[in-house]
Amino acid sequence: MSVPADAPVLTADAMRAAEAACVAAGTTLAELMERAGAAVADTAWRMAAGAPILILCGPGNNGGDGYVAARRLAERGAAVRVAALTDPATELARAARAAWTGAVEAIDAVPSGAPLIVDALFGVGLSRPIADDLAAVLRRLSGRVLAVDVPSGIDSDGGADWMPPLVADVTLALGALKPAHVLLPTARSCGRVLLAPIGISADRAMRTLPRAPSQVPGPAMHKFSRGMVLVFGGPMRGAAGLAAAAALRAGAGYVVLDGSESATLLAIIAESDEKFGERLGDPRVGAVVIGPGFPAGEELLFAVEAALDSGKPLVLDAAAIDAALPRLSETPRKAILTPHEGEFARAFPGAYGSKIDRAKAAATRTQAVVVYKGADTIIAAPDGRVAAAWPGSPWLATAGTGDVLAGACGAMLARGGDAFDAAVAAVGWHIARAAHIGPGLVADDLIRD
Can residue 403 be called a binding residue for ligand LP7C6HRI (CB under 6 A)?
Answer: no
Which residue of 39, 67, 123, 318 would you call a contact of ligand LP7C6HRI, by CB under 6 A?
A: 123
Of 122 and 344, CB closest to ligand LP7C6HRI: 122
Secondary structure of residue 74 in the 3-state scheme: helix
Q: For the chain, how big is the Rg over CA atoms in Å?
A: 25
Can residue 125 be called a binding residue for ligand LP7C6HRI (CB under 6 A)?
Answer: yes
327, burial (CB in 10 Å: exposed 0-12, middle 13-18, buried 19+): middle
Of 119 and 445, CB closest to K ion: 119
What whole-number distance in Å separates Cα of residue 163 and Cα of residue 269?
51
Q: Which residues contact 228 (CB under 8 A, 6 or more apart)?
A: 252, 253, 254, 255, 256, 282, 284, 285, 286, 287, 414
What whole-number distance in Å separates Cα of residue 286 and Cα of residue 252?
9
Binding-site annotation, residues for K(+) = 62, 119, 152
Whole-angstrom CA distances from 341 to 73, 139, 206, 222, 346 are 45, 32, 21, 38, 9
Strand ranges for 121-252 from DSSP E? 142-148, 170-174, 192-196, 206-208, 228-232
Residues of the shown chain interacting with K ion in the complex, contacts defined by CB under 5 A: 62, 119, 147-148, 152
Q: Any idea what the Cα angle at residue 377 is, between residues 227 and 389, rounded to 5°?
A: 80
Cβ at position 422, least distance to ligand LP7C6HRI in Å: 33
Which residue of 56, 70, 124, 287 would you call a contact of ligand LP7C6HRI, by CB under 6 A?
A: 124
Cβ at position 45, least distance to ligand LP7C6HRI in Å: 18
Which residue of 26, 103, 111, 128 would you call a contact of ligand LP7C6HRI, by CB under 6 A?
A: 128
Can residue 389 be called a binding residue for ligand LP7C6HRI (CB under 6 A)?
Answer: no
Give the CA-trace dihedral at 23, 27, 30, 34, to 10 degrees.
-130
For residues 188 to 227, the per-residue mask of contacts with ligand LP7C6HRI, x marking binding by CB under 6 A and - elsewhere, is: ----------x-x---------------------------
How many helices (H) and strands (E) are present in the chain, helices listed first? 14, 17
Of 90 and 398, CB closest to ligand LP7C6HRI: 90
Nearest to 156 by CA among 133, 127, 130: 127
Q: What's the distance, Cα to Cα, between the start and end of the chain in Å?
A: 28
Cβ at position 153, least distance to K ion in Å: 8
Binding-site annotation, residues for (6S)-NADPHX = 61-65, 123-129, 149
Cβ at position 266, least distance to ligand LP7C6HRI in Å: 56
Can residue 89 be called a binding residue for ligand LP7C6HRI (CB under 6 A)?
Answer: yes
Residue 157 partner contact from K ion, ligand LP7C6HRI, none using kind-dependent CB cut-offs of 5 to 8 Å: none
Cβ at position 165, least distance to ligand LP7C6HRI in Å: 12
Cβ at position 40, least distance to K ion in Å: 10
Residue 152 partner contact from ligand LP7C6HRI, K ion, none using kind-dependent CB cut-offs of 5 to 8 Å: K ion
Pairing of strands 285-290, 142-148: unpaired
Q: Which residues in 44-83 contact ligand LP7C6HRI (CB under 6 A)?
A: 58-65
Which residue of 3, 41, 55, 130 would you call a contact of ligand LP7C6HRI, by CB under 6 A?
A: 130
Q: Which stretch binds ligand LP7C6HRI (CB under 6 A): 120-128, 223-231, 275-283, 285-293?
A: 120-128
Stated as kind and residue range, the H or E segment containing 105 is: strand 104-106
Question: Do residues 194 and 173 make contact, with C-beta atoms less than 8 angstroms apart?
Answer: yes
Can residue 149 be called a binding residue for ligand LP7C6HRI (CB under 6 A)?
Answer: yes
Cross-strand partners of 257: 231, 270
Task: List residues near ligand LP7C6HRI by CB under 6 A.
Answer: 15, 19, 32-33, 36, 58-65, 89-90, 122-128, 130-131, 148-149, 174-175, 198, 200
